[in-house]
Amino acid sequence: MWSTLHVFLIIVPIALMVGVIIGGFIAYYVFKKQIKEWKKKMENPDKEQVRNMLSALGKKPSEEQVNRFINMAKSSVKKGQNNSKNSKKDPSKKNKNKK
């Protein structure tokens, strides 16, 4: 009843579409996980990275400047995390403050 032509015209394209959809979801979650890891890695620069950045700007950074820059980066990350947590918990606070 079913010939090989029917198999190639109906079942194979459906199987390919299902495979592409499943592969797309897998790739999405893998890339999302990698991006989160990269963000965590880039949030806290180490002393060598800070020295290289400041040296690229033409400055010879002192140890105090390097430590100040690292502390500033850490505090800005904490502030950003606190702001995002507050906005997720109660979005009505924004509306009350604007009035």
Does residue 3 come out as left (phi exceeding 0), alpha (psi in the -120 to 50 range) or beta?
beta
In-domain check, residue 58: yes
In-domain check, residue 96: no
Per-residue pLDDT band for 88 (boundaries 50, 70, 90) equals low
Number of compact structural domains in the chain: 2
Mean pLDDT of 33-57: 84
In-domain check, residue 97: no
Q: Are residues 1 and 35 both part of a single domain?
A: yes
Structural domain boundaries, residue 27: 1-43
> What digits encode the pLDDT tens for the residues 19-36?
999 999 999 999 999 999
Q: In Å, how far are 15, 24, 38 from 3, measured between CA atoms? A: 17, 31, 51
Q: Are residues 21 and 5 both part of a single domain?
A: yes
Whole-prediction pTM value? 0.47
Q: Are residues 39 and 53 both part of a single domain?
A: no
